[in-house]
């Protein structure tokens, strides 16, 4: 096998598989049929490109080849003759030979990916199925890669994908962009799925790694696609900005031996300035629209951290004010906790601790390790060693990520 052909095929798959599969699903009306056709097209590409050279537009070649594979599949299914006729009419590709240059127009279908995003994230599907289906189709990840990223058995991922596709078919979930009156609520679910993927990469819930850069990169790529497809929606810009600003700190968050480094102790020279500049530009652009949503507010908070040259220069007063707005508009226990921490850093540790203590009766926070870790940190700063030690032990008991467990153990050792 020609190494150049193999590299070209792999590059096309990573960069264009989402666009290609979206087009094929629209044409065939089937996830499985589209995936099979695309796989066969890539196999054909490896053979053809090794022999005849890499075409000028590899992605268009794959798309056209997959189109033909679908037409062949439908031809073999004699009971689907009517579908074949409508497919011929829709694609307009006819039955060109494999040596013909594919029509450039086959690659200019931006709405196909938008349709696919909304289909994968339809509220009729369970969220874990939405995540797996989005990563499989738009992200181009294999079942093995998804299982590895989330540390779950491969058969579990495979079952989720099968059930999700079956649900789409049996429930007649439309492959379309929602109408304008339903777009905001459906768009929010799409954004939530992408951010969930990013969060699992940024702060892995389990395992021995804190960061899974592959998941972060996929989430950012998906957010960029969403932003490019719907640039007039300011929350899309806010979501992309938030993830870029968080991801810019990835190289400063852990030591070379894999130990966690808190934000205030990070070497800010390791932060990625390019991502910060882009994130700041997107935040400014989104906030000008006037329709301020939760992702924009969180991105504005991340921007304040990014703009501080040193930890002591962080404008905690402004961060506390932004969390207050976020709390009023989108109340949640976690936002309340973050607001309390910001108050502690801006208006006094005792004031922040009082707010945190008030949250202690909230069921969702009582079993949340970061609640106890935050309380322990403030108690440590107040030199209340015994109380801090008790909270750190509670946090350690509840934490499930090995890197965070080591960090909490270090804090316990320092206090003892």
Give the residue among 409, 411, 412, 405 at the shortest CA–CA distance from 207.
Answer: 405
Mean pLDDT check: name the lowest of 26-30, 281-285, 344-348: 26-30
**CA dist., res. 345 & res. 257, Å (int):** 30
Element (H, E) at 23: helix 3-28
pLDDT in the model for residue 87: 56
pLDDT in the model for residue 98: 39
**Predicted TM-score (pTM) of this structure:** 0.80
Q: Are 17 and 221 in contact (CB under 8 A)?
A: no
Report, as an integer, the average pLDDT of 225-248.
94
pLDDT in the model for residue 10: 85
Tens-place pLDDT, residues 308-352: 999 999 999 999 999 999 999 999 999 999 999 999 999 999 999
**CA dist., res. 24 & res. 369, Å (int):** 44
Mean pLDDT of the chain: 86
**CA dist., res. 279 & res. 287, Å (int):** 12
pLDDT in the model for residue 78: 54
Tens-place pLDDT, residues 82-108: 555 555 545 544 333 334 444 333 334
Portion of the chain with pLDDT greater than 70, in percent: 89
pLDDT in the model for residue 307: 96
pLDDT in the model for residue 406: 92
Q: Output the DSSP codes for 247-309.
A: HTTGGGSB-TTS-B--GGGS-GGGS-HHHHHHHHHHHHHHHTTS---HHHHHHHHHHHHHH-S
pLDDT in the model for residue 102: 41
Q: Which residue would you say has higher pLDDT here, 397 or 51? A: 397
Q: 281 vs 43, 276, 285, 303, 332, CA distance in Å?
A: 42, 9, 6, 10, 28
Q: Is the pLDDT reported for residue 234 higher than 60?
A: yes
Tens-place pLDDT, residues 156-203: 999 999 999 999 989 888 888 888 888 888 899 999 999 988 988 887
Q: 335 vs 200, 325, 332, CA distance in Å?
A: 18, 10, 5
pLDDT in the model for residue 242: 97
């Amino acid at each position: 096998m020609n190494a150049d052909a193999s590299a070209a095929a792999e590059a096309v798959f990573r960069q264009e598989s989402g666009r290609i599969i979206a087009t094929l699903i629209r044409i065939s009306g089937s996830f499985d049929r589209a995936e099979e056709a695309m796989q066969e097209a890539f196999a054909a590409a490896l053979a053809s490109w090794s022999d005849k050279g890499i075409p000028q537009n590899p992605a268009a070649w794959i798309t056209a080849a997959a189109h033909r594979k679908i037409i062949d599949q439908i031809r073999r299914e004699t009971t689907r003759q009517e579908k074949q006729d409508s497919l011929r009419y829709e694609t307009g590709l006819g039955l060109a030979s494999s040596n013909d240059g594919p029509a450039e127009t086959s690659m200019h279908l931006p709405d196909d990916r938008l349709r696919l995003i909304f289909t994968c994230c339809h509220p009729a599907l369970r969220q874990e199925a939405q995540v797996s289906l989005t990563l499989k189709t738009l992200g181009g990840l294999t079942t093995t890669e998804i299982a590895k990223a989330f540390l779950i058995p491969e058969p579990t991922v495979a079952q989720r994908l099968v059930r999700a596709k079956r649900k789409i078919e049996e429930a007649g979930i439309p492959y379309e962009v929602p109408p304008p009156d339903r777009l905001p609520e459906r768009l929010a679910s799409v954004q939530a799925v992408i951010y969930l993927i990013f969060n699992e990469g940024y702060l892995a819930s389990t395992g021995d790694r804190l960061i899974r850069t592959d998941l972060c990169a996929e989430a950012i790529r998906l957010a960029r696609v969403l932003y490019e497809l719907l640039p007039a929606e300011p929350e899309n810009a806010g979501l992309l900005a938030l993830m870029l600003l968080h991801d810019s700190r990835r190289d400063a968050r852990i030591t070379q031996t894999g130990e966690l480094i808190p934000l205030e102790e990070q070497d800010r020279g390791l932060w990625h300035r390019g991502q910060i500049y882009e994130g700041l530009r997107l935040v400014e652009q989104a906030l000008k629209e006037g329709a301020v949503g939760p992702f924009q507010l969180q991105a504005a908070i991340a921007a304040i951290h990014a703009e501080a040259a040193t930890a002591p220069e962080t404008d905690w007063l402004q961060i506390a004010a932004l969390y207050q707005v976020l709390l009023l508009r989108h109340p949640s226990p976690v936002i309340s906790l973050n607001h309390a921490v910001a108050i502690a850093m801006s208006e006094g540790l005792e004031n922040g601790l009082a707010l945190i203590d008030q949250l202690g009766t909230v069921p969702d926070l009582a079993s949340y390790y970061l609640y106890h870790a935050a309380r322990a940190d403030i108690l440590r700063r107040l030199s209340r060693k015994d109380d801090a030690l008790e909270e750190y032990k509670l946090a350690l008991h509840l934490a499930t990520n090995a890197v965070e467990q080591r960090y909490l153990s270090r804090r316990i050792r320092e206090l003892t």
